[in-house]
Amino acid sequence: MSLAGDAAGRLLRLPRPRTADVTVERDLRVPMADGAVLLADRWVARGAPARQPTVLIRSPYGRAQLFGLLFGRLLAERGLQVVVQSVRGTFGSGGEFNPFDERGDGVATLDWLDAQPWHDGRVGMTGPSYLGLTQWAIARDPRLAALAPSVTASQFHGQTYGGGSISLDTAMSWMVVIAMQERRLGPLHLLRGLRRLPPLLDQLPIGELDASVTGAPVPWFRESLQHSARDDPWWVARDFSAGIGEVRAPVQLVGGWHDIFLPWMLEDFAALRAAGNPAQLVVGPWTHTAPGAAVSGARNGLAWLRAHLLGDRRLLRDAPVQVHVGGGGGGWRELDAWPPPEATPLRLHLHPGGRLARAEPPAGAEPSRYRYDPADPTPSLGGPTLFAREPVVDNRPLERRADVLVFSTDVLRAPVEAIGPVEAELHVGATTEHFDVFARVCDVHPDGTSYNVCDALVRVEPGRFPVAEDGTTRVTLPLWPTAHRFGGGHRIRLQVSSGAHPRYARNPGTGEPPATARRLVAADLAVRGDAAHPSAVTLTVV
């Protein structure tokens, strides 16, 4: 056993290896339909059966070092044969990297596996993030026997264009990773690139940010900016959610409440269960790159693959859903379904004076007003981003801003446990047709600290939401689902604003295409909370 393998196995709390004698075949050539050749490494225990199932890992982040260790050596030492492949245009693989367009190359790789004398026809896949998307790209192929994607989703449009805005911080951070990772001393270039990124995110237009961030235009980034709608053919070719009902391989999903893909991963789980797939779900208190997410993904993924490829079900749990309940919720909870079937809606209405209450608001109440200026955009504080260090923070600095409205319940006499979807309905008047609405639920502790629980942003433009005769727009937005216990003596708070920059790119207020917009127009907004305009936030409680 290598020292690195032993250390990584302990860090990930994996079962002890079955063997230390592992071989690796480097740079196997895998032909694609268009003539490009992708490179792959095969990891297998010495003395393993001549033909056996294969775990396929398709990654844009390389085959050696970290990814070879995590998905090659560690799995091979625990009885699985593994092929780790670099996707098109990365780490020696031919062709040009074209993000998210992974179905054709994935199917060609399955065809290549079929021709290998050491492969018995059954394929399992595992891995996080982009490695998860490569699983979804070919998930409905009947040769797949098990899938274990983590912190990912079957389509990346939802994360890329969160609520209609660009998830700017995450998009630019990922661009730095892709641009720097293959350079000599790549980790140093990556760290330097991420350190110099924050001030660059204020630059306009967004369509030229790639050159500022990486030193040169990035073709795939500029192309993606021209295709913002989910039903655009560019995104349809990269959206694998429509095929979920045809997936026959059992699927295990691992995610985090503060992961950038959470809402869409939960949509995938619901679609799988509706189609009769025996899918399992784990959601912990993690961000996208949190060590806990990596540990859970590795441990659960190994158990899932061994169960469905090798028949070893000893490490599997019975419950289909396991979630971590935050706040004072006491940690992990096993459920029969997501969301819990016994859960009920709790609708809290916005009232004058910053109150949030179950009672319906009075007639004729004055709206709550604020001014949003994209030249001084409401900043993001906490929340899910690609490299979020502290996703949950004290929000009082944000709540003191004049462009943030705050509505709070009275002190809770008893705990309120929210497990499931969260939705806001806000009746908003604005002096421009183009504006954003950001809504966030917070847990206010007895000492006054206000910690974010879940949130969302939506971009409002003509024709997207219904407009009343008085010009008020009824904006409905699903916030991120949650599992959180608001303790007795706490308060539930709703923030309302029009931005969270640079997590989401600011709305310039002009309706110009995001890629080219330079002009910034301020807007005055009025959030109504009265009998005719019952703005509210709805939690799912048990």
- On whether both 424 and 488 belong to a single domain, the answer is yes
**Angle between the N-to-C axes of helices 103-114 and 130-137, in degrees from 0 to 180, rounded to the nearest 10:** 70
> In this predicted structure, what is the pLDDT of residue 4?
66
- Residue 1 has a pLDDT of 52
Q: How many angstroms separate the CA atoms of 216 and 354, rounded?
A: 48
Q: How many domains does the chain have?
A: 3
Domain boundary among 204, 227, 250: 227
User: Residue 323 domain-assigned?
Assistant: no
Does 216 lie in the same domain as 306? no
> Does 98 share its domain with 113?
yes
CB 42 within 8 A of CB 24: yes
Instruction: Specify the 3-state DSSP secondary structure of 269.
Output: helix
Q: Mean pLDDT, 10 residues at a time, over the chain (542 residues)?
A: 70 81 97 98 95 98 85 94 98 97 98 98 98 99 99 98 96 97 89 96 97 95 94 96 98 99 99 98 98 95 97 92 92 96 98 98 96 99 96 98 99 98 99 98 99 99 97 98 98 99 98 95 98 98 96
Q: Clarify whether residues 74 and 103 are in a common domain.
A: yes
Q: What is the DSSP string of 27-50?
A: EEEEE-TTS-EEEEEEEEETT--S
Of 398, 350, 372, residue with least CA distance to 525? 372
Round to whole Å and give the CA distance between 60 and 214: 18
Tell me, yes or no, whether 498 lies in a domain: yes
Same domain? For 207 and 267 the reply is no
Asked whether residue 339 is assigned to any structural domain, the reply reads: no
Whether residue 350 sits in one domain with residue 234: no
**Which residues does 337 contact at the CB level (< 8 Å), separation at least 6?**
273, 320, 321
- Whether 400 is in a domain gets the answer yes
Q: Domain of 93: which CATH number? A: 3.40.50.1820
**Domain closes at, from 205, 227, 249:** 227
Same domain, 136 and 10: yes
**In a domain? residue 24:** yes
User: Of 185, 210, 227, which closes a domain?
Assistant: 227
**Contacts by residues 463-469 (CB-CB < 8 Å, ≥ 24 positions apart):** 464/164, 468/427, 468/533
Give the burial string for 353-362 (b: 16+ CB within 10 Å, else e). eebbeeeebe
Strand (E) or helix (H) holding 270: helix 262-274
- Residue 9 is predicted with a pLDDT of 78
The answer to whether residue 294 sits within a structural domain is yes
User: Are residue 219 and residue 285 in the same domain, yes or no?
Assistant: no
Nearest to 286, CA basis, from 299, 295, 277 = 295
> What does the CA dihedral 501, 505, 508, 510 come to, rounded to 10 degrees?
-150
Q: Give a yes or no: residue 417 inside a domain.
A: yes
Taking alpha carbons only, the member of 336, 347, 344 closest to residue 420 is 344
Is 510 found in the same domain as 482?
A: yes
b/e sequence 101-125, b meaning 16+ C-beta within 10 Å: ebbebbbbbbebbeeeebbbebbbb
Residue 487 near residue 415, CB atoms below 8 Å: yes
CA–CA distances in Å: residue 466 to residues 158, 426, 507:
22, 12, 20
Q: How far is CA 357 from CA 345, 351, 360, 470, 537, in A?
A: 14, 7, 8, 25, 10
Shared-domain flag, residues 54 and 159: yes
276 and 266, same structural domain? yes
157 and 186 in a single domain? The answer is: no
Tell me the CATH number at 528: 2.60.120.260
- Domain hosting 503: range is 344-541
Residue 325: inside a domain: no
How far is CA 516 from each of CA 46, 90, 209, 483, rounded to the nearest angstrom? 57, 29, 11, 39
Distances in whole angstroms, Cα of residue 209 to Cα of each of 212, 215, 499? 5, 9, 20
Cα–Cα distance between 404 and 71 in angstroms, integer?
Answer: 45
193: Cβ contacts below 8 Å, ≥ 6 apart = 176, 179, 180, 213, 214
